[in-house]
Structure 1
Amino acid sequence: MPDVDVRTYADLQAACDASSLNGTTVVVPTGVVIDSPQIFCDSRLTLRVDGRINRTDAGNTGAGGAMFRNRNTSLKTNDCHFFGKGSVGAKTSYTDPVTGHTRYDQTGIVFSNYGDRNVWTDIGIDKWDGGQAWAIRGDDLVIRRTSARGCAEATGNGGMRLIGGARFRAYSCDVWSGDDVYQPVPSPSTDHTITDAKFINCVGGSTDARFMVVGIQAGSGETLQPGTPMTCSVEDVEWRNCHGHGSIMGVVLQNFSSTGRIHNMRFTGCSVQSSRQYAGTNGARVLGQEFYTTALHPDGSVTGGVDGIHGDITWWNRQAATLMNPGGRGPVTGVDVALTERADPYWFPNLAPTQTPRAAFAA
């Protein structure tokens, strides 16, 4: 595709519209900073960011308020490619008067794209607040060699969330977020199943939540959800050579709301460090990490399950592993998790031995 400098158009939106229509590649050159409101994406958009894109309008929660979103959020936008050595994110920051933490002008979700064969390569997300870095769904999505840093240190600001679809792949990503980092977690509003997802050679951490999460939950908080259950499942998810930090828990598998199941989770050569042991009492535990097994609805019936958990995970500074089958919940089946304990609690591949995981958020 021919390259076209974004500055030849009236604004970034016009350039993106032309890319989808004409097959051109919109380029934000190195050293160029583009201030833009929310961008509407159509199929076949190709955007190369070697400079910087700042969001200038305030984002709202959900797909409709995202920095990059489908023009029509109910219709698929396919075959888009976002790449380059630059970054996208919030323009300005401020200090939270209560916590003292740095916050950013609301970006909302940064990338909220629904469609097939969309790809993100190398592009960075730097400074976001008010949603996840990615909240995406569709088939054959690929995210490779991307980084997400400078997230607001608060819940609600997650990393990479896959909402639904088949054959998702994340390769060599580096994501540090306030909320959950790598999360194949269906949305109750779409109730789409996730199958055959892989996270390979990925690192990162969370200031306020978990590192690797699989969850089906129609509501907030770790409680059983009343009302009409979801029906989706999460099946055949693999984490291979992934290393990270969870401030509350490292790994969570939980089904609170679906008649479907969480099945065949594989961990190979992964390592996790958590700041504190979780204080909850329900669920099957692996070194303090909750592996929730089933969802119970008000009638007391078992409506879902977690089974087929296998692989190996390295943990830091934990006591011996225990597996529990709590009363009132279904059994944990097919568990084959090899656990290794390390004595150096703050080691990560991308940090010096003397650094703590929090140091990576400022890197």
Structure 2
Amino acid sequence: MSGFDDGATIGGWRTDHLYVHPFKNGDGKFFTVIIEEGGSRSIEYIPPFPSRNRLKVKFTFITERNEITKVELRKYKEYKDGWREQWSGADDPIALSHFSFQKIMALLQLMTELDLASVTERRLAIHEGYGPIDRETADKVKSIVALPEGYKILDEVLQSGLIQSHDIVNIGYRKAQLGIFKRLLEEPGYLDVYKVEEGLTTPQEEKVWQNFFQRNPWIFGFGLDYRYLNILQAEAHIADTDLSGNDAAIVDFLMGCTDFTVLVEVKKPSTPLFLKNQNRANSWRLSRDFTDAVSQILEQKASWQIKAETNAHKNLNGAGKLLRQRTLDPKCILITSSDAAFAGSEKEREIKLRTFELFRRDTRNIEVLTYDELYERASFIVSEKGSGRNASIDDSIDYPF
């Protein structure tokens, strides 16, 4: 926790986020929130105009007692050489603006409503506009919409029956994750930022995307033949090894719909789809990276079919539960490449698009999607307009969940 108490780092933490730090002995947790003060004179000093004053509120929670035993409040100010704590003594108490007082009151109310013992996320986004505790229920619950299992908490908080808690989670959490998806896909350098935020140390880009999709299985969407419910196992061993223990077949995700299993393999957005030269007959040569990926998932499909049929009574997921989904000619999803693969003149782009579409239409029971197409489909899930990457997702939309 020393990093949080260091004025040199206080400016690097996100404001209006609930940070969770479990005790090393497992007896409890620290919950910390950094609040950007609006200033004592007017609320006009809140973002987008950065404030030079921040508050740190830290809660000490003891699991066995199921209660908050201590609340600490510290104030920081930004100087030319960095952030420094504003020490307060008996003759110099901490002064709060009305705006900051409102936010702290709302934060205290939120902490009494959360099931703190069940919170496992490292960081939860709190709605920037959380304020007076008498605001409408819909505004209050926005503080925890980024939590995937938020409906379990909201079911206890919401008693009015005017809105279902899982609707709020679907809207808020998915909107937030869609924004992350877009940044990962388009913003240079954000992949490294995401790795730091998620505590990932892997140098492999595919592993970073696997982490993102594991947190967001909803992105694979609702198809005409399947409704994808959850990830049964990440990095699933779908075939037995040889006698030397080698040649294990591992698929990125073994997913489960209502009745059947689905295999998902994730490649990098930068994976090339084509070679530099086109074929003679109005088509473009496919890259070896792409055809190897298709061959890989075909082998995974065949291996999993055999293992599922011969070891059905032994197929347990990471939680030790027997898979209830059946495996029957399993469907496969390959996520690879992006719009950049179709670069070129209008004629070249048209030939590449045609080649790619003809190839995947004749690839039986394998759904090949680029990252851009997956983003488009995720946008449609979040917004009934389905208007894609350049769409602004309006809070007024009646989302179809």
Structure number with higher helix proportion: 2
Structure with higher Rg: it is: 2
TM-score, normalising length: structure 2: 0.24
Q: TM-score, normalised by structure 1?
A: 0.26
